[in-house]
Amino acid sequence: MHAPERVTLHAATARLSLTWHEGQTQWIDNATLRERCPCSTCRRMAQSGAAPRSGPHIAIVEIQPMGYGVRIVFSDGHAQGIYPWEYLAGIAHTPVGP
């Protein structure tokens, strides 16, 4: 899967947007991204029924391009998750306006 053309942080609305080559833009809430963190620690927690803690106030501090995806640094200090593009496309909701 190719990288999106653009990945943008929207601090005011606590969302991330992904613009794909087809021109389609997908939006994902920060809280959703935190809850679906694919790192081994969070996956283990999710499997044991204890979803990673998140909240409406979670922010994304930084996104670091990793080639096949992005590493997301959250305001709670968690930065272990590397989100492959395909995984992000899977979590993204149907396109909504900005």
Name which of residues 40 to 59 contact Zn ion (CB under 5 A): 42
Residues 18 and 96: their CA atoms lie apart, in Å, by 12
User: Which of 3, 14, 31, 39 contacts Zn ion by CB under 5 A?
Assistant: 39
Closest contact distance (angstroms) between CB of 74 and Zn ion is 9
Asked if 69 is part of the footprint of Zn ion (rule: CB under 5 A), the reply reads no
Judged by CB under 5 A, the number of residues near Zn ion is 5
Stretch that binds Zn ion, among 3-11, 17-25, 37-45, 56-64 (CB under 5 A): 37-45
Q: Which of 27, 37, 29, 28 is nearest to 79 (CA)?
A: 37
Question: Which residues fall within 8 angstroms of residue 79, CB to CB, at 6 or more apart?
Answer: 62, 71, 72, 73
